[in-house]
């Protein structure tokens, strides 16, 4: 058994641009057409993100992503990813992955 999970990407993700106010985007679907259970989130600038049910804002206290970072989040039970910039706008890419 491999010591780390092996991920595959069989579906398109989404890219959004962060701003000074919190915004949210729907969690993309996986290859089966269902809402993804795990996503990879990367950004070209500093921002904060968190999985949410619609209507919940991201704040500067949420998960920090810096340029070049990527995180994997288990998002089952959530419907959206909320995001907000740290100091300047950045492009945030959310990609569904499957184990």
Domain ranges of the chain: 14-97
Which residues are 86's β-sheet partners?
Answer: none
Question: pLDDT band at residue 15, thresholds of 50, 70 and 90?
Answer: very high
This prediction's pTM:
0.89
The correct answer on CATH 2.30.29 for the domain covering 14-97 is no
Predicted confidence (pLDDT) at residue 20 exceeds the cutoff of 70: yes
pLDDT at 4: 63
Contact in structure between 58 and 50 (CB atoms under 8 Å): yes
């Amino acid at each position: 058994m491999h010591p780390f999970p092996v991920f595959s990407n069989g579906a398109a993700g989404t890219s959004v641009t962060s701003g000074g106010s919190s915004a949210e985007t729907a969690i993309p679907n996986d290859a089966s057409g269902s809402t993804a259970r795990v996503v990879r989130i990367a950004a070209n600038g500093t921002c904060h993100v968190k999985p949410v049910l619609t209507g919940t804002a991201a704040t500067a206290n949420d998960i920090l992503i810096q340029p070049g970072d990527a995180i994997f989040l288990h998002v089952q039970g959530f419907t959206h990813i909320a995001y907000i910039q740290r100091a300047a706008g950045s492009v945030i890419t959310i990609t569904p992955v499957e184990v």
